[in-house]
Amino acid sequence: MTGARPSGPLFRRASTVPMFTYSNQQHLSPRAIKAYLDNYVIGQEHAKMVIAVAVYNHYLRAQNLEDRKRRMRKDFDSRLRSDAIIEDIPDESVQPTQPKAFFVAEAEEDDTPVLEKTNVLLLGPTGSGKTLLMQTVAKVLGVPFAMVDCTSLTQAGYIGDDVDICIQRLLASADYDVEKAEFGIVVLDECDKLAKPARVGFSSTKDISGEGVQQALLQMLEGSTVTVTRKSGTAGQTKESYTVNTNNILFVLSGAFVGLENIIEERVSDKHAIGFKAVPGSAAMGKFFMPSNAHVLNYVEVQDLTKYGMIPELVGRIPHISPLLPLSEADMLRIITEPKNSIMKQYEHSFKMFGVELKFTTPALQALAKSALEQGTGARGLKGIMARLLLNVNYELPESSTKYVLVTENVVKTFMNTNESDRARPFYFSRGEQYKFLNELASENQVAQALLVESQTRDRNGESVSGQDEDEPTPQRVGFIE
């Protein structure tokens, strides 16, 4: 993001007013931010709400602090004016003029509460949308925004970036306007990579890229002043220094924390004796049970993160921990088609540019979602599968007479499961075959629709779903008892 003025979609109409004024706040609400995020990020409803509220409250805080500053300035000015009058009319009966600092101190006794910031930690499996969520927030906001990958950070004085890089980037995104940068948002991505070595399995006497960085970040989160130097001039010979106070910068940390589930489970299982019940004789005996709609990450607590290798002082300064949950097959299906910039929309558009209409049948999309899920890399896997699946088509079609391409379930399934010679090829149709193309598309979709209706009717009538033995009891899930 460049430029410090509000420029995101939520601020389009307010682009000429400075940041944090009432007029641009009128367009802003947690609901509006969440609605914008919904266009790009599928599922993860709770995390989207957390971020929407955090960002909104950040605006309010900024507003609150600006108002206080304005009131102080006004108060100071008016006292200064009366001071001047007093000085102009010497009168024995008037009290001697107070030093100016007195007025500042008095103005500071504003009794409106100062809103404190609420830093956020997003955690959840790889490819579940953590980085995407914050990148999308960056697009919508008009505040300076910087995203830093913690993997490259080292303690000051060692090769690598020290934590001041966060402020350097933030300041650059605020066009070197210190006052604006001081109300910016810094995202510390991949922060789990800073976990202490004991946890990540290597040892070193001095942990310059883990704990050392966490300590440095701690100071920044607490509120410190960072001096940033900017080189300017054609040969970079001029150096300008900027001092940024980090007190009001909102920090969002995000990381996958691979293996954290085990730590949570271990902790909760210890409680098991008093709080959890397992179903005797079930395969899951000895493991703890959760309500069926819950996920183990929902039970994360500060102690789990410290056990993982984060220092308690740092985690303690992040009041809001929000887990992103693994994506389901249904989420994956929506991710392929729904986001404004979905992978499907991108391919359809690029094919249209060379005059070809590309369509996937619904079962083909379902097969695609399933395969992506099986890769275990979240939605990140989709891009690769799609690129490989459409490579030949993309290679051949730009100079052919084909006008329509249909990818069916069989094409996806055989592509994923068999070697190249056994793969089904997508269907190609020429200019005059639009009807045939649409008919083929509709017929696979209709068959799928009919199968769906059939299975729903079976479910409603209480008949067994294929492959499931009716006599076998469904594993009972026992709730979380505190």
Listing DSSP states for 229-294 in one string gives: EEEESTTS-EEEEEEEE-TT-EEEEEE--TTHHHHHHHHHHHHHHHH--PPTTSTTTTS----TT-
Shortest separation between residue 360's beta carbon and ligand ATP, angstroms: 17
Interface positions, 40-59, toward ligand ATP (CB under 6 A): 41-44
From residue 97, alpha-carbon distances to 72, 105, 106, 135 in Å are 19, 15, 15, 54
By beta-carbon proximity to ligand ATP, the closer residue of 44 and 408 is: 44
Instruction: Examine residue 136 and tell whether it contacts ligand ATP (CB under 6 A).
Output: no
From residue 326, alpha-carbon distances to 92, 129, 256, 421 in Å are 78, 10, 11, 34
Burial of 82 (0-12, 13-18, 19+ CB in 10 A): exposed
Shortest separation between residue 258's beta carbon and ligand ATP, angstroms: 9
CA distance 127 to 335: 12
Residue 226 pairs with which residues in a beta bridge?
244
Q: Which stretch binds Mg ion (CB under 5 A): 65-73, 131-139, 142-150, 473-481?
A: 131-139
Q: Nearest to ligand ATP by Cβ — which residue?
A: 129
Interface positions, 336-365, toward ligand ATP (CB under 6 A): 339
Shortest separation between residue 383's beta carbon and Mg ion, angstroms: 14
Tokens of residue 367, six digits:
């097969």
Tokens of residue 380, six digits:
């990140």
Instruction: Examine residue 131 and tell whether it contacts Mg ion (CB under 5 A).
Output: yes
Instruction: Examine residue 139 and tell whether it contacts ligand ATP (CB under 6 A).
Output: no
Shortest separation between residue 147's beta carbon and Mg ion, angstroms: 10
- Total binding residues toward ligand ATP, as defined by CB under 6 A: 17
Give Cβ neighbours of residue 285 (< 8 Å, ≥ 6 apart).
278, 279
Interface positions, 287-346, toward ligand ATP (CB under 6 A): 335, 339
From residue 171, alpha-carbon distances to 3, 26, 269, 390 in Å are 10, 26, 46, 42
CA distance 172 to 4: 9
Interface positions, 218-257, toward ligand ATP (CB under 6 A): 256
Q: Which stretch binds ligand ATP (CB under 6 A): 120-128, 161-169, 199-207, 474-482?
A: 120-128
Shortest separation between residue 149's beta carbon and Mg ion, angstroms: 9
Instruction: Examine residue 138 and tell whether it contacts ligand ATP (CB under 6 A).
Output: no
Q: Which stretch binds ligand ATP (CB under 6 A): 35-43, 313-321, 392-400, 427-435?
A: 35-43
Shortest separation between residue 232's beta carbon and ligand ATP, angstroms: 34
Burial of 57 (0-12, 13-18, 19+ CB in 10 A): middle
CA distance 435 to 441: 10
Instruction: Examine residue 405 and tell whether it contacts ligand ATP (CB under 6 A).
Output: no
Q: Which of ligand ATP, Mg ion, none binds 24 (CB below 5-8 Å, type-dependent)?
A: none
By beta-carbon proximity to Mg ion, the closer residue of 131 and 151 is: 131
Residues that bind ligand ATP (CB under 6 A): 41-44, 126-132, 256, 335, 339, 378-380
